[in-house]
Amino acid sequence: MTLPKTMRAIAITTPGGPEVLQLTEIATPAPAPGEILIHVEAAGVNRPDTIQRMGFYAPPPGSPDTPGLEVAGKVVAIGAGVTLWTVGDHVCALVGGGGYAEYCVAHESHALPVPHGFNAIEAAGLPETFFTVWTNVFERGGLKGGESVLIHGGSSGIGTTAIQLAKIFGARVFATAGSAEKCAACLELGADAAINYREQDFVAEVKTLTEKRGVDVILDMVGGDYIARNIEAAARDGRIVSIAFLNGSVAEVNFMPVMLKRLTMTGSTLRPRSIAEKAGIADALREKVWPLLDAGRVKPLIDATFPLEDAAKAHVLMEKSTHIGKIVLTL
Protein backbone atom coordinates (compact mmCIF):
# COMPACT_ATOMS: atom_id res chain seq x y z
CA MET A 1 0.00 0.00 0.00
CA THR A 2 1.40 3.39 -1.02
CA LEU A 3 0.75 5.88 1.75
CA PRO A 4 -0.26 9.45 0.90
CA LYS A 5 2.16 12.23 1.82
CA THR A 6 -0.61 14.24 3.46
CA MET A 7 -3.78 13.37 5.34
CA ARG A 8 -6.92 14.96 6.69
CA ALA A 9 -6.76 15.84 10.38
CA ILE A 10 -8.47 18.06 12.92
CA ALA A 11 -6.42 21.04 14.08
CA ILE A 12 -6.93 23.15 17.19
CA THR A 13 -6.51 26.53 15.47
CA THR A 14 -6.38 28.46 18.76
CA PRO A 15 -7.43 27.64 22.33
CA GLY A 16 -11.18 28.08 22.67
CA GLY A 17 -14.62 26.60 22.12
CA PRO A 18 -15.59 23.73 19.81
CA GLU A 19 -15.56 26.05 16.79
CA VAL A 20 -11.73 26.20 16.90
CA LEU A 21 -11.59 22.58 15.69
CA GLN A 22 -10.99 22.77 11.95
CA LEU A 23 -10.36 20.15 9.28
CA THR A 24 -6.93 20.59 7.71
CA GLU A 25 -4.26 18.76 5.70
CA ILE A 26 -1.03 17.78 7.45
CA ALA A 27 1.86 15.44 6.74
CA THR A 28 1.15 11.74 7.16
CA PRO A 29 3.22 10.49 10.12
CA ALA A 30 5.75 7.67 9.84
CA PRO A 31 6.17 5.07 12.57
CA ALA A 32 9.33 5.36 14.65
CA PRO A 33 11.08 2.26 16.04
CA GLY A 34 8.62 0.30 18.15
CA GLU A 35 5.62 2.06 16.63
CA ILE A 36 2.86 1.08 14.22
CA LEU A 37 0.99 3.30 11.77
CA ILE A 38 -2.79 2.83 11.86
CA HIS A 39 -5.18 3.78 9.06
CA VAL A 40 -7.87 5.19 11.34
CA GLU A 41 -11.45 4.03 10.81
CA ALA A 42 -12.85 5.52 14.02
CA ALA A 43 -11.56 7.64 16.92
CA GLY A 44 -13.00 8.04 20.40
CA VAL A 45 -13.85 11.47 21.80
CA ASN A 46 -12.97 12.01 25.45
CA ARG A 47 -13.20 14.76 28.04
CA PRO A 48 -9.41 15.38 27.99
CA ASP A 49 -9.77 16.27 24.29
CA THR A 50 -12.02 19.18 25.22
CA ILE A 51 -9.62 20.31 27.92
CA GLN A 52 -6.74 20.22 25.43
CA ARG A 53 -8.85 22.22 22.97
CA MET A 54 -9.30 24.93 25.62
CA GLY A 55 -5.55 25.14 26.10
CA PHE A 56 -5.25 23.44 29.50
CA TYR A 57 -3.93 19.96 28.67
CA ALA A 58 -0.84 20.00 26.48
CA PRO A 59 0.21 16.74 24.77
CA PRO A 60 3.16 14.89 26.31
CA PRO A 61 6.56 15.65 24.73
CA GLY A 62 6.82 13.96 21.34
CA SER A 63 3.06 13.48 20.89
CA PRO A 64 1.17 15.20 18.05
CA ASP A 65 -0.77 18.42 18.66
CA THR A 66 -3.75 16.84 16.91
CA PRO A 67 -6.30 15.77 19.56
CA GLY A 68 -7.54 12.21 20.03
CA LEU A 69 -6.42 9.58 22.54
CA GLU A 70 -7.88 6.35 21.11
CA VAL A 71 -8.34 4.91 17.64
CA ALA A 72 -9.32 1.76 15.81
CA GLY A 73 -8.27 0.72 12.33
CA LYS A 74 -5.80 -1.29 10.25
CA VAL A 75 -2.04 -1.43 10.62
CA VAL A 76 -0.54 -0.11 7.36
CA ALA A 77 3.14 0.27 8.32
CA ILE A 78 5.44 -0.82 11.13
CA GLY A 79 8.57 0.73 12.58
CA ALA A 80 11.89 -0.97 13.17
CA GLY A 81 11.84 -3.66 15.83
CA VAL A 82 8.06 -4.15 15.93
CA THR A 83 7.21 -7.77 16.75
CA LEU A 84 3.63 -7.69 18.05
CA TRP A 85 1.83 -6.66 14.84
CA THR A 86 2.07 -7.01 11.09
CA VAL A 87 0.64 -4.95 8.25
CA GLY A 88 -3.04 -5.79 7.81
CA ASP A 89 -3.83 -6.43 11.48
CA HIS A 90 -6.95 -4.74 12.86
CA VAL A 91 -6.25 -3.05 16.17
CA CYS A 92 -7.46 -0.48 18.63
CA ALA A 93 -4.87 1.60 20.42
CA LEU A 94 -4.25 4.12 23.16
CA VAL A 95 -2.28 7.07 21.79
CA GLY A 96 -0.74 10.20 23.28
CA GLY A 97 -2.48 12.32 20.65
CA GLY A 98 -3.18 12.38 16.93
CA GLY A 99 -6.35 10.30 16.90
CA TYR A 100 -8.51 12.83 15.03
CA ALA A 101 -6.82 12.04 11.71
CA GLU A 102 -6.76 9.57 8.83
CA TYR A 103 -3.50 8.03 10.05
CA CYS A 104 -2.12 7.77 13.57
CA VAL A 105 0.99 6.25 15.13
CA ALA A 106 0.84 4.16 18.30
CA HIS A 107 3.42 2.29 20.31
CA GLU A 108 3.05 -1.39 19.48
CA SER A 109 2.60 -2.30 23.16
CA HIS A 110 -0.35 0.10 23.53
CA ALA A 111 -2.43 -1.61 20.82
CA LEU A 112 -4.83 -4.49 21.35
CA PRO A 113 -6.70 -6.65 18.83
CA VAL A 114 -10.20 -5.61 17.81
CA PRO A 115 -12.41 -7.97 19.85
CA HIS A 116 -14.36 -10.68 18.07
CA GLY A 117 -17.54 -9.31 16.48
CA PHE A 118 -16.68 -5.65 17.13
CA ASN A 119 -16.81 -3.01 14.42
CA ALA A 120 -14.34 -0.11 14.31
CA ILE A 121 -16.72 2.28 16.08
CA GLU A 122 -17.11 -0.06 19.04
CA ALA A 123 -13.39 -0.82 19.12
CA ALA A 124 -12.50 2.88 19.10
CA GLY A 125 -14.54 3.29 22.28
CA LEU A 126 -12.34 0.86 24.22
CA PRO A 127 -8.75 2.00 24.85
CA GLU A 128 -8.97 5.27 26.78
CA THR A 129 -11.88 4.17 28.97
CA PHE A 130 -10.77 0.59 29.58
CA PHE A 131 -7.16 1.57 30.34
CA THR A 132 -8.45 4.26 32.72
CA VAL A 133 -10.97 2.06 34.50
CA TRP A 134 -8.63 -0.91 34.87
CA THR A 135 -5.71 1.02 36.31
CA ASN A 136 -7.82 3.16 38.65
CA VAL A 137 -10.60 0.85 39.86
CA PHE A 138 -8.78 -2.47 39.92
CA GLU A 139 -5.10 -1.57 40.32
CA ARG A 140 -5.06 1.63 42.37
CA GLY A 141 -8.48 1.06 43.97
CA GLY A 142 -7.88 -2.66 44.45
CA LEU A 143 -11.53 -3.55 43.93
CA LYS A 144 -12.21 -7.24 44.60
CA GLY A 145 -15.20 -9.51 44.27
CA GLY A 146 -17.58 -9.15 47.20
CA GLU A 147 -16.69 -5.49 47.78
CA SER A 148 -18.80 -2.45 46.92
CA VAL A 149 -17.98 0.43 44.61
CA LEU A 150 -19.51 3.87 44.02
CA ILE A 151 -19.01 5.17 40.49
CA HIS A 152 -19.65 8.86 39.94
CA GLY A 153 -20.65 9.87 36.43
CA GLY A 154 -22.13 6.45 35.85
CA SER A 155 -23.53 7.29 32.41
CA SER A 156 -20.24 8.61 31.00
CA GLY A 157 -17.90 6.55 28.87
CA ILE A 158 -15.77 5.86 31.96
CA GLY A 159 -18.83 5.21 34.11
CA THR A 160 -20.56 2.77 31.76
CA THR A 161 -17.30 0.83 31.43
CA ALA A 162 -16.65 0.81 35.18
CA ILE A 163 -20.16 -0.43 35.96
CA GLN A 164 -19.84 -3.40 33.60
CA LEU A 165 -16.36 -4.43 34.70
CA ALA A 166 -17.01 -4.00 38.42
CA LYS A 167 -20.18 -6.07 38.17
CA ILE A 168 -18.64 -8.85 36.11
CA PHE A 169 -15.77 -9.14 38.60
CA GLY A 170 -18.23 -9.64 41.44
CA ALA A 171 -18.61 -6.24 43.10
CA ARG A 172 -21.77 -4.60 44.37
CA VAL A 173 -22.11 -1.53 42.17
CA PHE A 174 -23.66 1.85 42.91
CA ALA A 175 -23.60 4.75 40.44
CA THR A 176 -24.55 8.41 40.39
CA ALA A 177 -26.06 10.12 37.35
CA GLY A 178 -27.97 13.32 36.64
CA SER A 179 -31.32 12.19 35.21
CA ALA A 180 -33.86 9.39 35.40
CA GLU A 181 -32.84 8.29 31.88
CA LYS A 182 -29.17 8.12 32.85
CA CYS A 183 -29.97 6.25 36.06
CA ALA A 184 -32.02 3.75 34.07
CA ALA A 185 -29.06 3.21 31.73
CA CYS A 186 -26.78 2.51 34.72
CA LEU A 187 -29.22 -0.09 36.04
CA GLU A 188 -29.49 -1.68 32.60
CA LEU A 189 -25.71 -2.06 32.52
CA GLY A 190 -25.73 -3.91 35.83
CA ALA A 191 -25.59 -1.32 38.61
CA ASP A 192 -27.31 -2.53 41.78
CA ALA A 193 -28.52 1.00 42.49
CA ALA A 194 -28.44 4.31 40.60
CA ILE A 195 -28.60 7.59 42.52
CA ASN A 196 -29.90 10.74 40.83
CA TYR A 197 -27.52 13.31 42.32
CA ARG A 198 -29.84 16.17 41.33
CA GLU A 199 -32.61 14.80 43.55
CA GLN A 200 -30.85 12.61 46.12
CA ASP A 201 -27.94 12.94 48.53
CA PHE A 202 -25.54 10.21 47.42
CA VAL A 203 -23.96 10.00 50.88
CA ALA A 204 -27.31 9.31 52.56
CA GLU A 205 -28.29 6.84 49.83
CA VAL A 206 -25.01 4.94 50.12
CA LYS A 207 -25.36 4.75 53.89
CA THR A 208 -28.89 3.33 53.48
CA LEU A 209 -27.83 0.85 50.77
CA THR A 210 -24.91 -0.43 52.85
CA GLU A 211 -26.63 -0.36 56.28
CA LYS A 212 -24.40 2.58 57.30
CA ARG A 213 -21.17 0.71 56.43
CA GLY A 214 -20.20 2.80 53.39
CA VAL A 215 -18.51 1.66 50.18
CA ASP A 216 -15.09 0.07 49.71
CA VAL A 217 -14.05 1.93 46.55
CA ILE A 218 -15.14 5.27 45.09
CA LEU A 219 -14.27 6.36 41.54
CA ASP A 220 -14.58 10.14 41.38
CA MET A 221 -14.32 12.47 38.40
CA VAL A 222 -16.18 15.37 40.02
CA GLY A 223 -14.00 16.72 42.84
CA GLY A 224 -15.07 19.96 44.51
CA ASP A 225 -17.51 19.32 47.34
CA TYR A 226 -17.57 15.62 46.40
CA ILE A 227 -14.12 15.23 47.98
CA ALA A 228 -15.43 15.66 51.53
CA ARG A 229 -18.65 13.79 50.76
CA ASN A 230 -16.69 10.82 49.37
CA ILE A 231 -14.79 10.60 52.65
CA GLU A 232 -18.12 10.46 54.47
CA ALA A 233 -19.48 7.78 52.11
CA ALA A 234 -16.41 5.53 52.31
CA ALA A 235 -16.26 2.40 54.48
CA ARG A 236 -13.39 1.60 56.85
CA ASP A 237 -10.27 0.81 54.83
CA GLY A 238 -11.99 2.37 51.81
CA ARG A 239 -10.15 3.64 48.74
CA ILE A 240 -11.09 6.87 46.99
CA VAL A 241 -9.66 7.28 43.49
CA SER A 242 -9.79 10.66 41.74
CA ILE A 243 -9.43 10.79 37.96
CA ALA A 244 -10.79 14.28 37.15
CA PHE A 245 -12.05 17.44 38.85
CA LEU A 246 -15.04 18.73 36.89
CA ASN A 247 -16.10 20.80 39.92
CA GLY A 248 -12.56 21.87 40.85
CA SER A 249 -9.56 20.38 42.62
CA VAL A 250 -9.57 22.59 45.73
CA ALA A 251 -11.70 21.73 48.74
CA GLU A 252 -11.82 22.27 52.49
CA VAL A 253 -11.66 18.81 54.04
CA ASN A 254 -11.67 17.45 57.58
CA PHE A 255 -9.03 14.71 57.48
CA MET A 256 -9.93 13.20 60.84
CA PRO A 257 -12.27 10.60 59.20
CA VAL A 258 -9.46 9.67 56.79
CA MET A 259 -7.35 8.67 59.77
CA LEU A 260 -10.14 7.09 61.82
CA LYS A 261 -11.47 5.03 58.90
CA ARG A 262 -7.97 4.22 57.58
CA LEU A 263 -8.87 5.55 54.15
CA THR A 264 -6.62 5.66 51.11
CA MET A 265 -7.01 8.69 48.85
CA THR A 266 -5.29 8.32 45.52
CA GLY A 267 -5.66 9.13 41.85
CA SER A 268 -3.87 9.12 38.53
CA THR A 269 -3.69 10.50 35.05
CA LEU A 270 -3.14 8.22 32.08
CA ARG A 271 -1.75 10.30 29.23
CA PRO A 272 1.62 11.30 30.78
CA ARG A 273 2.48 7.79 32.02
CA SER A 274 5.50 6.01 30.57
CA ILE A 275 5.47 3.61 27.63
CA ALA A 276 6.24 0.75 30.02
CA GLU A 277 3.44 1.67 32.44
CA LYS A 278 0.86 1.83 29.66
CA ALA A 279 2.17 -1.44 28.23
CA GLY A 280 1.64 -3.06 31.63
CA ILE A 281 -1.98 -1.92 31.67
CA ALA A 282 -2.45 -3.25 28.13
CA ASP A 283 -1.03 -6.61 29.18
CA ALA A 284 -3.46 -6.81 32.10
CA LEU A 285 -6.39 -5.93 29.86
CA ARG A 286 -5.34 -8.53 27.29
CA GLU A 287 -5.31 -11.19 30.00
CA LYS A 288 -8.25 -10.19 32.20
CA VAL A 289 -10.69 -8.18 30.06
CA TRP A 290 -10.24 -8.95 26.36
CA PRO A 291 -11.63 -12.50 26.77
CA LEU A 292 -14.80 -10.91 28.18
CA LEU A 293 -15.05 -8.60 25.18
CA ASP A 294 -14.42 -11.50 22.76
CA ALA A 295 -17.21 -13.42 24.46
CA GLY A 296 -19.63 -10.49 24.24
CA ARG A 297 -19.99 -10.23 28.02
CA VAL A 298 -18.82 -6.59 28.07
CA LYS A 299 -19.31 -3.97 25.38
CA PRO A 300 -18.88 -0.20 25.13
CA LEU A 301 -22.08 1.80 25.02
CA ILE A 302 -21.98 4.10 21.96
CA ASP A 303 -24.15 7.20 22.26
CA ALA A 304 -23.37 9.04 19.02
CA THR A 305 -21.05 9.11 16.02
CA PHE A 306 -19.91 12.05 13.90
CA PRO A 307 -17.81 12.19 10.74
CA LEU A 308 -14.29 13.53 11.32
CA GLU A 309 -15.12 16.92 9.84
CA ASP A 310 -17.85 17.37 12.48
CA ALA A 311 -15.47 17.04 15.43
CA ALA A 312 -16.73 20.40 16.72
CA LYS A 313 -20.28 19.00 16.96
CA ALA A 314 -18.93 16.01 18.88
CA HIS A 315 -17.32 18.37 21.38
CA VAL A 316 -20.54 20.34 21.76
CA LEU A 317 -22.33 17.13 22.69
CA MET A 318 -19.55 16.12 25.08
CA GLU A 319 -19.75 19.44 26.90
CA LYS A 320 -23.55 19.36 27.15
CA SER A 321 -23.15 16.10 29.12
CA THR A 322 -26.43 14.75 27.80
CA HIS A 323 -24.79 11.69 26.25
CA ILE A 324 -24.88 8.18 27.71
CA GLY A 325 -21.72 6.25 26.89
CA LYS A 326 -19.15 7.03 24.20
CA ILE A 327 -18.95 9.60 21.42
CA VAL A 328 -16.96 8.46 18.38
CA LEU A 329 -15.65 10.10 15.20
CA THR A 330 -15.79 8.08 11.99
CA LEU A 331 -13.58 8.24 8.93
What does the pLDDT look like over 31-48, one tens digit per residue? 999 999 999 999 999 999
Amino acid letter, 309: E
- What are 56-100's pLDDT values in tens digits? 998 989 899 999 999 999 999 999 999 999 999 999 999 999 999
Any domain includes 243: yes
Q: What is the value of pTM for the model shown?
A: 0.96
* Domain containing residue 41: 6-126+271-330
Question: How far apart are the C-alpha atoms of 13 and 19, rounded to whole Å?
Answer: 9
Bigger pLDDT: 2 vs 148: 148
Last residue of a domain, one of 267, 282, 308: 267
Phi, psi for 246 (deg, rounded to 5): -60, -30
Tally of domains within the chain: 2
Instruction: Confirm if 85 and 111 have CB atoms less than 8 A apart.
Output: yes
Supply the CATH number for residue 67's domain: 3.90.180.10
- What are 128-143's pLDDT values in tens digits? 999 999 999 999 999 9
pLDDT at 1 over 80: no
pLDDT at 323 over 80: yes
Do 138 and 247 lie in a common domain? yes
Helix%, strand%, coil% for the chain, nearest 5: 30, 30, 40
Do 250 and 309 lie in a common domain? no
Do 137 and 262 lie in a common domain? yes
Instruction: Confirm if 311 and 42 have CB atoms less than 8 A apart.
Output: no
pLDDT at 273 over 80: yes
Do 263 and 280 lie in a common domain? no
Q: What is the mean pLDDT of residues 257-261?
A: 98
Last residue of a domain, one of 267, 283, 317: 267
Do 259 and 139 lie in a common domain? yes
Q: What is the mean pLDDT of residues 237-250?
A: 96
pLDDT at 2: 87
- Is the C-alpha dihedral spanning 169, 127, 36, 73 positive or negative? positive
Do 185 and 256 lie in a common domain? yes
Do 206 and 312 lie in a common domain? no
Do 85 and 13 lie in a common domain? yes
Any domain includes 1: no
Do 248 and 297 lie in a common domain? no
Do 192 and 307 lie in a common domain? no
Band of residue 205 on the pLDDT scale cut at 50, 70, 90: very high
Q: Nearest CA to 173 among 245, 183, 236? A: 183
CB atoms within 10 A of CB 4: 11
pLDDT at 312 over 80: yes
